[in-house]
Structure 1
Amino acid sequence: MKILHVSSFDLSGGAARSAYRIHRGLQEAGITSQMLVQFKSVTDQSVTTSEGKLLARVRSFCNDLTLSNHSQSMFSSQWFPDAVASKVDGIDPDIVNINWICNGYLQIETLSKLKRPLIFTLQDMWSFTGGCHYSLGCDRYTISCGNCPQLQSHREADLSRSVWHRKAKSWKNLDLTVVAPSEWMATCARASSLFRDVRVEVIPFGLDTSVFKPIDPRIARELLNLPQAKQLVLFGAIDATGDTRKGFHLLQQALHHLLEKGWGDRIELVVFGASKPDKPLDLGFPVHYLGKLQDDLSLQIAYAAADVMIAPSIEEAFGQTASESLACGTPVVVFANTGLADIVDCHQNGYVAKYCDTADLARGIAWVLENSERHQRLRQAAREKAVREYAMQVQAHRYLSLFHKILDSSQPIAGWSHS
């Protein structure tokens, strides 16, 4: 069995890292697995590019041209032609696993040219919307988009409707299986007009539990020059303080609730994914900015140094910072009604707050921190859940089972057959 994963990046960003982990997990399970990417950063010979860096940058630039009159950048129309189909033919896989393919990498119409069973692993909502990566509360993807709030559009026949029509037309006869990393994302996909008649499975994203594992918090804090005597609250994401979807503004409000409850001299905040701003925000607590952490070891140390990780996203396909934190033995506090709620078991390895309720978010942080014996039990349960549910070997087994089901049920496609 030969599997090909198609992704814009191999390691840059959470979506790319999750795709690469799927790839690596399958390799370790003895499966022939390759990646085809737009931008390659690893030295791994099983990862190849479909074009030169200059063309890749031109493609990304051209894709953004359709948004020149719009303020929303997390919107992808994927109109620029590509040569991915011929590359796929040359590799000749049994199944193609499509991951995050935006940034202009894969034209929407290319999927129908791949002539193989396809899996679409959902890294965000783009595949079943008219172009946005997250709907931000809009439900027009359940019909046919148009009047797109992210494009500040008041027309039915806008760019989002056009992108939706292109997907509906070119994907209607695909041999397609959708894999969502969480029940929340699966529910969204099943409600969408594009995927409501498509098979949707749930397979959580995996991680290397031999890398993401507990270490002595005192050593981690010493390495990061963090205080030993305080309880540390960790928050982090790509563009951690700038991306509204990640919920930093909601964490700010929760911190003010904690300040009012007398936590002012007990906790300090640690932030990764953002540098210290020129004009630091007054959050009521000291803040330590770690900047961008690019490698797994740096992330592991940050998680291990913290007493609790906060992931207050308002929309999230899964939330790898939460699963990574659990693997390092650090409890996590999240909101309900996102993919993160799959990861955290309330009162077992963290706390699940009412959706966007900042007072309850503060209560969750306090609950995790206020009892040292309970905190130690939460730490142990966090690690146990990560090993049980998110180890790459577990993920690989789940994908392998799905591959067999797909190949057993797939009908021959003109120009291709699997052995």
Structure 2
Amino acid sequence: MTDSLAQPIRVLHLNAGACGGAALGAVGLHESLLDLGVTSTFLYGNGPRECTISSAERMIQSQILSAGIEKVLPRFETGLVRILSGRRGLPFSLGQVGNPLFQRRALLQNSDIIHLHWVNGSMLSLRQIAAFNKPVVWTLRDEWPYTGGCHYAGECQKFEMKCGQCPMLNSHRSYDLSTFIQRQKTRLPEDIRYVGISDWITQRAKRSSLLRTATVTTILNAINPSFFESDGSTERGELRRRLQLPEKATILLAGALDLDSPFKGYEILQHIKPDARRDLHLLTFGSISDDLKDSISIPATHLGPVLQQMELKEVYRAADLFLAPSHQESFGKTLAEAAACGLPTVCYDVGGPAEIVIHEQTGFKAEPFNTDQVIAYCMQLVDDVGLRTRMGHDARRQSVRFKPARAAKEYLQLYREVLNR
């Protein structure tokens, strides 16, 4: 049903790509806003649209960014970070390099609100964001908007005061790259409205020196639970045969974009030991290093990256339980998807995942970061089919909390507040 708008609102969503958790959350919001009658446009910089399940209109890949420059600019930025830190693959962005022609796009000029999602990877620079001259809503898909450059601060709390001597950059200087970036962010417009996708990241943002006086609200992230529901057309046995999984084993699922990320906590997999009393099989999706594979001693199947949402849905439905031992995560899209597929989940009682799992109802939340307790909870679910079934049913029922229509209505109200101030 179309929401009756007092006046047409033209929203331009900006995200660096069409793949990954941030993109899927942003696209789901875009689709639901279209259903409400909002003139919503989703502009992304790189990556195939096929990564999403969207068939929505107004999904546009920037021709400027897809002409090859999107390959050069991120390499320049990551190369500079590597030179300054002496380390590769850091979850750290400068925000200094953006496409030089982006500001001229007519879409930008003809929009009432610019809605930023994950805009790193040299899609936009801080200077470009400061020069929008439009109302801006910025969804906190990670911690970068309020830190000195890191996407997750880990145990470092310098973002609450003054960055410098950045542990991620291996810096011992009181004024370093993180200090410079933090100071640049103080020049962003004070009236940007920030939205946390969980209470955890909202509270972290409010403690930061950059957003302490800003307006930060929570609108829970969204997935499409009905997409992940079983239509009954394919039984679990058939799904397991397709994936070449043992049909009678208990399948423990673990997955992320990068299982080797220190924030995901999947080094715990090496501590799960074979037990002759249990027919346990590990199934993983996402990139995984040979070192992590070799450290796992239980039988395992590694699917690698699964970009198609339809394929990922089948992976969830072939499993019996989900393990998500993240140390720091703004929401936990995979946990919400697993719940929608009827899987009980084991996680740590920290971050966004702790707001998704209801302890002893839809899964278990272990003390941070008690590895033995996580494994014990997993084995409890492995050993008790009835418990898995009950928790799985409750997880599916609770997943309605993540419907995109709910988030879209909350964002629509926020847009109206921003335009009426």
Is the structural similarity TM-score above 0.5? Answer: yes
| Residue 213 of structure 2, aligned match among 171, 179, 197 | 197
**1:59-70 map, 5 Å:** 59-67=73-81, 68-70=83-85
Which residue identity lines up with residue 325 of structure 1 in the other structure? A
Alpha-carbon spacing, 1:268–1:14, altered in 2? closer, same or farther (3 Å): same
Which residue identity lines up with residue 105 of structure 1 in the other structure? M
The runs of 4+ residues in structure 1 deviating greater than 4 Å are: 88-91
Corresponding residue of 1:58: 72
How many angstroms does 1:25 deviate by?
A: 2.0
Matched, 1:156 2:165: no
Matched, 1:74 2:91: yes
Which deviates further from its counterpart, 124-133 or 26-35?
26-35
How many angstroms does 1:100 deviate by?
A: 0.7
How many angstroms does 1:309 deviate by?
A: 0.5
Q: Deviations over 1:368-404 (max 9, x none)?
A: 3332222222111111111x21122222122222222
Which residue identity lines up with residue 86 of structure 1 in the other structure? R
Corresponding residue of 1:344: 357
The 1-side partners of 2:341 and 2:333 are apart by 12
How many angstroms does 1:7 deviate by?
A: 1.0
The 2-side partners of 1:16 and 1:316 are apart by 16
| Residue 28 of structure 1, aligned match among 35, 41, 45 | 35
Matched, 1:322 2:335: yes
Number of residues paired by the alignment?
399
**1:228-377 map, 5 Å:** 228-240=247-259, 242-253=260-271, 255-256=272-273, 259=274, 262=275, 265-274=278-287, 277=290, 280-377=293-390
Matched, 1:218 2:225: no
SS at match of 1:80: coil
Alpha-carbon spacing, 1:318–1:278, altered in 2? closer, same or farther (3 Å): closer
Unaligned runs of 5+ in 2: 1-8, 51-56
How many angstroms does 1:363 deviate by?
A: 2.2
The 1-side partners of 2:390 and 2:120 are apart by 41
The 1-side partners of 2:278 and 2:108 are apart by 62
The 1-side partners of 2:84 and 2:412 are apart by 44
Q: Deviations over 1:131-186 (max 9, x none)?
A: 01111211111112110000000001100000001111x21x33211111111111
Which residue identity lines up with residue 392 of structure 1 in the other structure? P
Q: Deviations over 1:235-292 (max 9, x none)?
A: 011121x212111112333x14xx5xx5753311111113683894253310111111
| RMSD of aligned alpha carbons | 2.0
Unaligned runs of 5+ in 1: 410-419
**1:371-390 map, 5 Å:** 371-386=384-399, 388-390=400-402
Corresponding residue of 1:124: 142
Matched, 1:14 2:32: no
| Residue 196 of structure 2, aligned match among 180, 196, 199 | 180
**1:80-159 map, 5 Å:** 80-81=97-98, 82-87=100-105, 90-159=108-177
Percent of aligned pairs sharing the same letter: 28
How many angstroms does 1:84 deviate by?
A: 2.9
| Residue 3 of structure 1, aligned match among 2, 8, 11 | 11
SS at match of 1:245: coil
Corresponding residue of 2:246: 227
Which residue identity lines up with residue 406 of structure 2 in the other structure? V
